Structure formats: C-alpha cells, structure tokens
Amino acid sequence: MDEPVLLTGAGGRVGQAILHGIGDDYEWRLLDREPLPAAKVPDRVTDADRYVADITDARAVREAMAGVGAVIHLAGDPRKTAPWDSVLRNNIDGTQVVMRAAADAGVEKFAFASSNHAVGGYETEDRTPDLYRTDDDYRLDGTELPRPGNLYGVSKATGEALGRFYHDQHGMSVVCVRIGNLTKDHPPREYERGQAMWLSHRDCAHLFDRCLQADYGYEIVYGISNNDRRYYSIKRAREALGYDPADNSANYTFEGEPKAGAETNEPETGESETADAVDDAPAEPNFPSDPDTPTDGA
C-alpha cells in the first residue's frame, strides 16, 4: 500500500502491538487524544503525521484522514465496565465520525477493532467453563448474530453494523476484528477464558497487516492466536485475509510459563524495556483503568 495508513488510538495496547510489529512497513498517520511519547512512535513518523484529537471532532478527523488509503480504527473507551454515556460518545459516535470521514475521503480499506464482548452473551452458564477447553467443539465463526455481554459489547456490535452500512452504501472494504485477550510474550496467567482467546502481539500485528494487504468486501473475523482450546474459529480470518498465526496458548502452562520443547513467543535478546512495558499500561491510556483484570477487551 502506497498511501498512508491512519491508526486511531495509536497509544493504546493494540495500537502499540501493531506499531511494534509492522511499524516500519507502512507510512503512518497516528491519532490519539493525547500527545504520544517518542518511545511509542516509529522513527519514520514525523511530527506532521501525529494528530492529537478526539475522534468525535469531525473537522480534526477529516484533516487526519486526507490522502490516506486505509484506516485501522482502535480509538474508544476500552473498559468493559464503561458507562453508557462514555461508550455512546467514544465508541459509537466516534466510530461513526471516523467511518463517515473515511467514506467521504474515498478510503479503500477500513479495519475496525471490534471485541469478543460483542458476542460475550454466548458464554452462558451451561456452556462454561467447558467452552474454554479443548474437548469442547462449540465454535463461533463470525456468522452468528451479535450477543453483547455488556454495554461495551453493544458499542462494538454497533460499530460492526456501521461498517456493514458504509460497505454497502459507499463500497468501502471493511473488516471487523473481534479481538480476544491480547498479552505480550505469554498467555494470560491462570485465566482459562483468556488462554482460550489469547492473541499474542506478533499475531496481532500480523493480523492487521493482513487487513491492510488482503482483498475483501465486508468481513467479521476473530482476532486470536492459533490456540488449541479456542472457541472462536479463525477459519474465516485465514480464508479471507490470509491470516497465519504463529502462537498457541497450549505451548504454555496454565501459569503462563513456556512448556519444555515448545515453540513460544519469547522476547528477543535486547528488546527494549519500553516494548516490554506495554502490557503493564492500561489498554487505552486516555481512560481510567478497568477494575476487572486481566484485560480482555479491544
């Protein structure tokens, strides 16, 4: 892709995983509500390509959108306990502003960060905890109707519907990625649900790279690694996007330690402390931390 890629919410957990993995592969426009420290910005991104704005500011979003070829939209309130006034403003109104600006600017591809919470209601009492185990064959594949488990999930399901609208009405290619539980270097520790929906940092970067490179119309895919115990299917992500995840939570113990002889996503020697510290930060630095841990939103 020759045109710049606009990344909203660039300072958050998902944005940093993407930039750490493929930050040198694209020309970026970075948008966040607060100035990003230099450590969170790829070297090639100039000050002119860093936008400090709220995604509900239509004029600022249009300015950042001018001339881009694709959008990865991550910005919003990531708290699964977020109140309605916040998800309405930041996740629904904000997503509408960004999608409308993208359509008006003739953007070709739009990747929307949806969430596992858009379908959290399928995790019923009679299905769990067996749902999170390898001997259970129940799968969600993206063709099912949304079934939000909280108001945050409602906002993500609404974003998926907006994406469908802008694809149908404006021909923009839209992919909605229902992100699982993103952690770096190891799956969530001692958390069965999180290990079933683990998304490693390198698989996250690879998945969004495929969102930028593949040809598609409108898609809903699940953003998780190649976990043995998954209850989300990644078949459509493979078929529509060419997603080929490298990591598997089965290669780690329940405590999150690599199993002997297993190929794991261990940090490379000399990796920066800044990169290692990403998981210690809130999912999105512009909102209060969610009291529920570990983080499994997007």
pLDDT at 22: 98
pLDDT at 294: 41
pLDDT at 111: 98
CATH number at residue 37: 3.40.50.720
Question: Is 114 assigned a ligand-binding role in the annotation?
Answer: no
Token code pair at residue 271: 């990796």
User: Closest Cα to residue 204, out of 189, 191, 219, 185?
Assistant: 185
- Structure confidence by residue, pLDDT tens digits, 247-287: 999 999 999 999 987 777 655 433 332 233 333 334 454 56
Residue 294 lies in a domain: no
CA torsion 55-83-179-141 (nearest 10°) is: -120
Residue 96 lies in a domain: yes
Average pLDDT of the residues of the chain? 90
pLDDT at 185: 93
pLDDT band at 291 (very low <50, low <70, confident <90, very high): very low
Residue 149 lies in a domain: yes
pLDDT band at 289 (very low <50, low <70, confident <90, very high): low
Residue 127 lies in a domain: yes
Average pLDDT of 22-29?
97
User: Closest Cα to residue 103, out of 75, 77, 73, 74?
Assistant: 73
Distances (CA, A) of 179 to 4, 38, 138: 24, 26, 18
Average pLDDT of 44-53?
96
pLDDT at 264: 77
User: From its phi and psi, is residue 117 left (phi > 0), alpha (psi between -120 and 50) or beta?
Assistant: alpha
Residue 63 lies in a domain: yes
The stretches of the chain forming alpha helices (DSSP H) are 13-22, 58-65, 84-86, 94-104, 151-170, 192-196, 201-213, 235-236, 273-276
Higher pLDDT, 293 or 144: 144
Question: Is 138 assigned a ligand-binding role in the annotation?
Answer: no
pLDDT at 295: 47
pLDDT band at 293 (very low <50, low <70, confident <90, very high): very low
Separation of alpha carbons 244 and 201, rounded Å: 13
Which one of the listed residues 26, 152, 232, 243 is annotated catalytic?
152
Separation of alpha carbons 112 and 174, rounded Å: 7
152 is annotated as an active-site residue:
yes
Q: What does pTM read for this prediction? A: 0.90
pLDDT at 270: 34
Which helix or strand (DSSP H or E) is residue 48 part of?
none
Distance of CA 184 to the CA centre of its chain: 14
Residue 296 lies in a domain: no
- Structure confidence by residue, pLDDT tens digits, 92-128: 999 999 999 999 999 999 999 999 999 999 999 999 9
- Structure confidence by residue, pLDDT tens digits, 73-88: 999 999 999 999 999 9
- Identity at 183, one-letter amino acid code: T
* Tokens 């994406």 belong to residue: 163
Q: Which residues contact 47 (CB under 8 A, 6 or more apart)?
A: none
Domain that holds residue 172: 5-280
Residue 289 lies in a domain: no
- Structure confidence by residue, pLDDT tens digits, 183-214: 999 999 999 999 999 999 999 999 999 999 99
| 266 secondary structure, DSSP code | P
Average pLDDT of 205-230?
97
Residue 298 lies in a domain: no
pLDDT at 242: 98
Exposure on the CB side of residue 221, measured as CA atoms within 13 A? 27
Average pLDDT of 210-233?
97
Question: Is 232 assigned a ligand-binding role in the annotation?
Answer: no
Find residue 28's DSSP bridge partners: 5
Question: Is 90 assigned a ligand-binding role in the annotation?
Answer: yes
Number of structural domains (the chain) is 1
Neighbours of 238 (CB within 10 A): 15
The sign of the CA dihedral 211, 214, 218, 219 is negative
